[in-house]
Every structure is written in C-alpha cells, then in structure tokens.
C-alpha cells in the first residue's frame, strides 16, 4: 500500500531582474508560517530578463502559481500583458501584483497605498520631490496626488519626468533644491550597487533638515547613505524595507484574504541577507 502523496503547495513569487537581493521571499514565507499556512503555500524569487517576462508569466499558472509580485524593471510590462486591471493599476500605469485566476492574469498595484502606509503621517498638502520616473515613481506620484501634495518630479532623462507629470500630475523639475521640500522620495535604483547618491542625484547633504521626511525605496544591508545623511541633519527617514513590508502585506492580503502579520514580516525582511 502506497502512502498518499502530499498535496502540492500553492506558489507565489517575485519577478525581477536582478532579484537575488529581494527580501520578499523571507518576508512572505515568515508571514505564511505565522499564519499556519507554510504547509500549503510557498513564496520564491524568480529572475527573468525583460525579453522573457511574458513567456515566463504565461507559464506560471500551469506550474501552480497563484500570484506574483513584480519588481524592477518589469512593472510597466506586467501591466501590458495582463488580461484585466484594477482601477488603481490602470490609473498608475504600472503593476506590482499579478493574480492568476479563472484563466486570466489580473494586475493590481499595492505600491501607492503601501508607500502612504509607511509614512509617519499623511503628506497632505506638503511640497514633495520625487526622484525617478519608472514604475515605482508612478505609484508614488499617484499616491501623493490623491493626498493633495504639491509634487515635483526629477529624472535624469527629462522627457520621462515630463511624460509622467503629463499623465499623473506634478511638475517636472531640472534642478531641485533639497531644502525646499517637506518630503523627498528616491524611487531610482541609485544606491542599490553602492553608488554615491550625492553624485548621482540632484541632492545636497547639507540641504536636509528638521521637519523633512526622506524616503529611500532602495534597501540594502544597512541604512542607505542617503538616509544616513538626512538623519544626521535632523530629517525623519523611511527606508525601503518599511515600504516593502507595507506593499507586500497588501499583496498577500489580496491573495489570501486574511490580515498579514506586519511585525513578523518586518522582522523577517530586516533579518534577511
């Protein structure tokens, strides 16, 4: 008599290029364990080049995947290959969450609401500077616009910031002054490979001060150079791990239909290497 085979676990993933640095697997698997679901669900990282994204995504449902998070550089491409879009993903013009259900690929975006949840207070009508014009920047500009913030957007390629502002609001800026803003958000990849943010971004370390909030979506093994400089001048800081936790919790809640354990996710994300 043969033993009955254990049922296959339902699969979740993060798709990126590169993706080896991602804390999402540790964070989500810790949440699944805390919820008593680790025997039924598993979350993994999948590195996929841009020219293979559509092929890889379309193969996932047959492999037991229920959903996937999408990170750099795939957020706008993920939106384009989806069969249906949430209103939020449609408005932002990028997707960070895919769900495979009823033969469809459904796209959503939890980046904007996750970003707002990570802030110490509502940005209200504050003056905000967003650095970058990719998928993450689109979500941040969308979220800040909904809160009524006065938004300026800088990007190394000025045409991209102009296009983003034309679609989502805000004003493109070529030479922002660090001290003018109450909120500064770095959505670029500067710092991911150890780059000096003050040589790559239009910021001055001595321009930070009390009353400012500085957010860096890049995360590594410690505090980013950008956030360290801001904190040294008295600014409040929010790192990419906290934003990751907040947007990841929104995605997980959508897939599982339960409230994720935020503190468990936070501890796992900060402890992952």
Residues with a catalytic annotation lie at: 75
Q: Using alpha carbons only, what angle is made at residue 236 by residues 232 and 242, rounded to the nearest 5 degrees? A: 115
CA torsion through residues 20, 110, 155, 84, sign: positive
CA torsion through residues 267, 269, 272, 273, sign: negative
Cα 181 to Cα 130, 171, 208, 221: the distances in Å are: 10, 14, 9, 27
For the record, the structure tokens of 175 come out as 């030479």
Q: What's the order of all strands across the beta sheet hosting 84-85?
A: 41-47, 10-16, 65-70, 97-101, 104-108, 84-85
Within its chain, how far is the Cα of 40 from the centroid?
26
Q: Is 103 exposed, middle or buried (0-12, 13-18, 19+ CB in 10 A)?
A: exposed
59-65 long-range contacts, Cβ below 8 Å, gap at least 24?
A: 60/11, 60/13, 60/100, 61/100, 61/103, 63/11, 64/8, 64/9, 64/10, 64/11, 65/10, 65/11, 65/12, 65/13, 65/100
Instruction: At 100, give phi and psi (nearest 5°).
Output: -105, 110
């Amino acid at each position: 008599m043969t033993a009955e085979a254990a049922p296959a676990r339902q699969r979740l993933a993060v798709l990126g290029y590169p993706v080896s640095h991602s804390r999402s697997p540790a964070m989500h698997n810790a949440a699944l364990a805390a919820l008593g679901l680790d025997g039924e669900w598993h979350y993994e990282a999948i590195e996929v080049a841009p020219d293979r994204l559509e092929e890889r995504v379309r193969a996932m449902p047959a492999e037991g995947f229920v959903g996937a998070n999408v990170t750099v550089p795939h957020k706008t491409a993920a939106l384009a290959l989806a069969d249906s879009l949430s209103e939020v993903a449609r408005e932002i013009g990028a997707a960070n969450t895919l769900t495979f259900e009823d033969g469809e690929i459904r796209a959503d975006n939890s980046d904007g609401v996750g970003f707002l949840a990570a802030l110490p207070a509502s940005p209200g009508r504050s003056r905000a500077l967003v650095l970058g014009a990719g998928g993450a920047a689109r979500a941040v500009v969308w979220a800040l616009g909904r809160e009524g913030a006065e938004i300026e957007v800088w990007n190394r390629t000025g045409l991209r910031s102009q296009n983003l502002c034309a679609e989502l609001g805000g004003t493109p800026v070529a030479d922002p002054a660090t001290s003018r803003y109450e909120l500064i958000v770095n959505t670029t990849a500067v710092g991911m490979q150890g780059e000096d943010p003050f040589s790559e971004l239009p910021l001055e370390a001595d321009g930070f001060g009390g009353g400012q909030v500085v957010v860096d979506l890049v995360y590594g093994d410690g505090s980013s150079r950008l956030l360290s400089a801001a904190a040294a001048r008295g600014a409040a800081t929010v790192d990419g791990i906290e934003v990751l936790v907040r947007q990841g919790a929104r995605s997980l809640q959508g897939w599982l239909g339960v409230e994720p354990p935020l503190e468990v996710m936070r501890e796992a994300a900060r402890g992952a290497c």
